[in-house]
Amino acid sequence: MRNERLRGYLDVILLSILLEGDSYGYDIAQQVSDQTHGALAIKEGSLYPALKRLEANRFIEGYWGTDKDSGPRRRYYRITDRGKSHLRKLQEEWNAEQRLLSVFFDKVVPE
């Protein structure tokens, strides 16, 4: 999968990861890689701006990790109710989109 294909899907990916529990940037990227068996890699240059965008739109809320976390500081995020309904909406749009595009993608190429 050309990674550019993330365009437009990144928000859903991030929100759906946070649906399963609070997490922070670096870990989210690893979850995505794990859940797609390495097929999808979110780049840092996409990830952190996206998280800020989602936070600015109040789809997620960020907070700094507690002292007992080891390593560099981590900024955790939790999904908001607003974020959940946004996610639902995006999922529905995606389904509609797939049905629409299948008109073209399902056409059989002869030979």
Partner DNA sequence: CTCCAAACATAGCCTATCTATGTATGTTGC
Partner DNA sequence: GCAACATACATAGATAGGCTATGTTTGGAG
The overall longest dimension of the chain from CA atoms, in Å, is 64
Q: Which of 75, 78, 76 is nearest to 19 (CA)?
A: 78
CA–CA separation, 59 and 38 (whole Å) = 27
Interface residues with its own copies (CB under 8 A)?
Answer: 1-2, 4-5, 7-9, 12-13, 16-17, 19-20, 35-36, 39-40, 81, 84-85, 87-88, 91, 93-98, 100-101, 103-107, 109-111
73's CB contacts (< 8 A; 6+ apart) are 64, 65
Would you say 43 or 64 has its CB closer to its own copies? Answer: 43
Task: Provide the 10 A C-beta neighbour count for residue 69.
Answer: 12
The 8-class DSSP code of residue 72 comes to S
By CB under 7 A, name the one of 20, 39, 43, 85 that touches DNA.
43
Total residues in contact with DNA, by rule CB under 7 A: 30
Q: Site mask, DNA, residues 8-27, x = CB under 7 A?
A: xxxx------------xxxx
Would you say 16 or 30 has its CB closer to its own copies? Answer: 16
Enumerate binding residues for DNA (CB under 7 A).
Answer: 3-4, 6-11, 24-27, 42-46, 48-53, 70-76
